[in-house]
Amino acid sequence: MSWKRLATAAVMAAAALALPTSARAAYTYSTSITIGTPVGAPPGASGVVNTPGVGATFTTTAGTVVNFANIVSPGLFVVPGVNTFNFGNLTVTTTSATPETFSVPYTDVVTITNPAPGGSTGTFTITGTLFLTGVQFIGGATTGSVSNLYNAPFNQNLANVGGASFALNLGTGAPNDFFGPPTINNPTAGGNIGGQVTAAVVPEPSAVVLSLIGLPLGLLLRRRLLRSA
């Protein structure tokens, strides 16, 4: 093999070693949403129902229903890559003849899983509050609005999940960052809460050592090529 081909092979081998086999794939994620105690809802509200594996619902006595649905069919994160993702589907319906204004706190645990057999997992815990304002259905018409506000921290990190790191960004703390509001009384036009995840490959320790060894080897090969030119 010529020195030139040997040098090229060395560079390609070093690049391959920098990417652990376990991290060269799309990772999966799922979510688990629970609702806390609503604030400002009419007295006698029928309450909160948190259903593991499904989602969470809050219903008022006047007939306003807030429904969060988990992401249960595994979503995908590309590694490496920047992923804008949905971690909870939301619908709001109402039969209330009087305007209803209240807030609904929630917690969402996002689990990221290495797709390799027996792959490791990591979790982000996200909290926030939905604000429903003037929600009403009267005279055949629906009024009102739904907004979202995430709680700090707005940036979270997972250092190593089976060879990949993940950085979660929820925005700046402004209302409706990464939020798609639902159309009230139209479940087919539901909304979602989301965010952005930047995924990167974590080099394996052996790859770091080999790359340090390969650097002087590459320089030596380059010098040899220059001398022979």
What is the rounded CA–CA span in Å between residue 86 and residue 72? Answer: 12
| 218 three-class SS | helix
Q: Classify residue 220: in a domain, yes or no.
A: no
pLDDT value at 5 more than 90: no
Q: Classify residue 98: in a domain, yes or no.
A: yes
Q: How confident is the model at residue 228 (pLDDT cuts 50, 70, 90)?
A: low
pLDDT value at 203 more than 80: yes
User: Are 129 and 149 in contact, with CB atoms under 8 Å apart?
Assistant: yes
Q: How confident is the model at residue 24 (pLDDT cuts 50, 70, 90)?
A: low
Token representation of residue 88: 């909870």
Q: Residue 202's closest CA among 76, 22, 26?
A: 22
Q: Classify residue 208: in a domain, yes or no.
A: no
Mean pLDDT in the chain? 84
Cα pseudo-dihedral 118, 114, 193, 188, rounded to 10: -70
How many folded domains does the chain comprise? 1
Q: Classify residue 225: in a domain, yes or no.
A: no
User: Are 114 and 131 in contact, with CB atoms under 8 Å apart?
Assistant: no
Q: Classify residue 29: in a domain, yes or no.
A: yes
Residue numbers of the domain that contains 72: 19-202
Q: Classify residue 146: in a domain, yes or no.
A: yes
As a residue count, the chain comes to: 229
Q: What are 155-170's pLDDT values in tens digits?
A: 999 999 999 999 999 9
pLDDT value at 8 more than 60: no
Q: What are 89-108's pLDDT values in tens digits?
A: 999 999 999 999 999 999 99
> Looking at residue 74, what is its pLDDT?
77
Whether the CA torsion 125, 147, 103, 189 is positive or negative: it is: negative
Q: How confident is the model at residue 75 (pLDDT cuts 50, 70, 90)?
A: confident
> Looking at residue 16, what is its pLDDT?
39
Q: Classify residue 34: in a domain, yes or no.
A: yes
3: enclosing H helix or E strand = helix 3-17
> Looking at residue 73, what is its pLDDT?
80
Token representation of residue 219: 């320089």
User: Are 33 and 72 in contact, with CB atoms under 8 Å apart?
Assistant: no
Q: Classify residue 221: in a domain, yes or no.
A: no
* CA 171 distance to own-chain centroid: 12
